[in-house]
Amino acid sequence: MISKVKNAMSNLVGGMMPHGHHHHNHHSGGGQNSGQEGLPHRFPYGRPDFLDLTPELLQYSTEHASRPVVTLKRGTRLPWGAGYAEAINAGKSMLNEDQASCEKLFVRKPSSKHRNSTLVDDNGDNTGIPLHFWGVFDGHAGSGAAIMASKLLHRIIRDGLGEICHLLENPNSAPPICLAKNGSPFQTEAKKGGTQDSGEDADAVCDASVRFHMEKVVSLESLVMGVIETAFKQMDDLIEKEKTSYAISGGCCALAVVYLMGKLYVANAGDSRAIIIRNNEVIPMTNEFTPESERQRLQYLGFLRPELLGNEFTHIEFPRRIQHSELGKKMLYRDHTMTGWAYKTIVEDDLKFPLIYGEGKKARVMATIGVTRGLGDHDLKVYNSNIYIKPFLSCVPEVKVYNLDENKHGPDDVLVMGTDGLWDVTTDKEVAEAVSNYLSRCDPSDPMRYTLAAQELLMRSRGVLKERGWRLPNEKLGSGDDITVFIIPLAGHESET
């Protein structure tokens, strides 16, 4: 994520330096990581395990001058034969703040042995319901949160699904509304328990048959969605908790694709993006969460909880900063209820800086951050202030479901997921065309075809280095950001699950 957080003091943070060579905050008053000096890193800096980089290659992958495209080695096979490629940014941070993970796991009932030690490895035990996971994590202000999420989020999801494993094993019966402590459905008898109704409610339901009538039926699918949403919150809480013992720098956008029992669940918190390409057509699987797309939610919070604005910001949006000489004049504005604009007479309070300011990729929350959902950022403050950004950020993803088994797919039908470095300079349609063209020219039996397509996509967005910077074939500026891409084929996975 490029310059998504102002004040570049944290850009050079990472675990690559030997312990003891810790960074200084360039500004003592605010920013990330305050109080973390001297703590060990939770996970050392590195690239995804599946790349299997030697120390030499790891160093090579950080060359800002050449920005090498790093792909899967020939011979390495990711689940479903998915393709992968990445490249570092053009110099905005020393290390690649994108991270990625790809795992095949197994959902099992929590065993008594592991009840108090979650997040364990599968240790080669291949019993249970298979679960496939692909994630991209676009870090900002350091790579600590992104690395930690890439190591743990899939395990948290697996463990959450383990808790409802007995329900997943009966996919044809709707999940019970109420469970006893042992996990079995709990039924109260008719009439029993109706006495707590205090009489103020004409609709109070005192009768089991009426109650049944009033019950919402919750699908197994929405239970899986709930597990994924909850897992993102648990991941965020874990980062906060472990920050007391470890240096975990920055925050990250998180985009996760989960395959379980015939369905793909695409969960997005941030401005990464996933699309499905089917028959050369694009099916968008994510929305981006930015100061612009979440303006009204953020303004509403600022309106209801003005103390969070620290007397420095106003929840009202103006098209530009107001000058003191404009007091008493009328200026265009909009509040949390409005989509259109109207004029208001400027009062003293309007001279504060707008909570949401700027347009497009330059839009910022409290002049600080350009993305409104993700993990981490617990210490992030407005520069030189004690105003925390975190209350305005959400760690909850939007989850969309794609029923893989209900659709037919050919070998060129894929899901493409990538960080904003990819999408900022290449549209959905251009991505779809490039991938479809590339795959159709490729030997269908080449196990590298999806990785080669990912490499092709990556080159398209990065461009080549010319005198005037990284340029695309059309001479437009390429992406100077970190770029990470998975291409996941949608056909032919039945044999391995």
CA distance 379 to 31: 7
Give residues with Cβ within 8 angstroms of 450, minimum separation 6. 81, 82, 83, 414, 439, 487, 488, 489
**Integer distance in angstroms from the first to the last C-alpha of the chain?**
34
> Shortest approach of its own copies to residue 15 CB, angstroms?
28
The tokens of 74 are what?
Answer: 């020939």
Q: Yes or no: say if 51 and 33 are a contact pair by the CB < 8 Å rule.
A: no
The residue among 329 and 466 lying less far from its own copies, judged by its C-beta, is 329
- Cβ 392 to its own copies shortest distance, Å: 13
How many angstroms separate the Cα of 346 from the Cα of each of 64, 312, 330, 356?
A: 47, 16, 6, 18
Specify the residue, 68 or 226, whose C-beta has the smaller distance to its own copies: 226
Q: How far is the CB of 477 from its own copies (least distance, A)?
A: 18
Closest separation between CB of residue 333 and its own copies, Å? 9
The residue behind tokens 């029923």 is 403
When the beta carbons of 37 and 326 are compared against its own copies, the nearer one is 326
DSSP strands (E only) in 193-260: 251-260
Under a CB-based contact definition with an 8 Å cutoff, are residues 235 and 149 in contact?
Answer: yes
Residue 118, sorted as left (phi over 0), alpha (psi -120 to 50) or beta, turns out to be beta
| Distance in Å, CB of 224 to its own copies, minimum | 7
Q: Kindly tell me which of 296 and 497 has the beta carbon lying closer to its own copies.
A: 296
Q: How far is the CB of 371 from its own copies (least distance, A)?
A: 17
Q: How far apart are CA 391 and CA 315, in angstroms?
A: 14
Cβ nearer to its own copies, comparing 105 with 387 = 387
Q: Which is nearer to its own copies, 188 or 407 (CB)?
A: 188
**Interatomic CA distance for residues 260 and 160, integer angstroms:** 13
Q: Where is 267: in which H helix or E strand?
A: strand 263-269
Question: Could you give the angle at which helices 428-440 and 449-462 cross, rounded to 10 degrees?
Answer: 140
Rounded Cα gap, residues 368 and 44, in angstroms = 27
Residue 89 or 394: which CB sits closer to its own copies? Answer: 394
Tokens, residue 111 = 């065993």
CB of 268 to its own copies, least distance (A): 12
Between 125 and 215, name the residue whose CB sits nearer to its own copies. Answer: 215
Is 13 within 8 Å of 142 (Cβ atoms)? yes
Closest to its own copies by CB, 6 vs 22, is 6
Q: Contact 392/225 with Cβ under 8 angstroms?
A: no
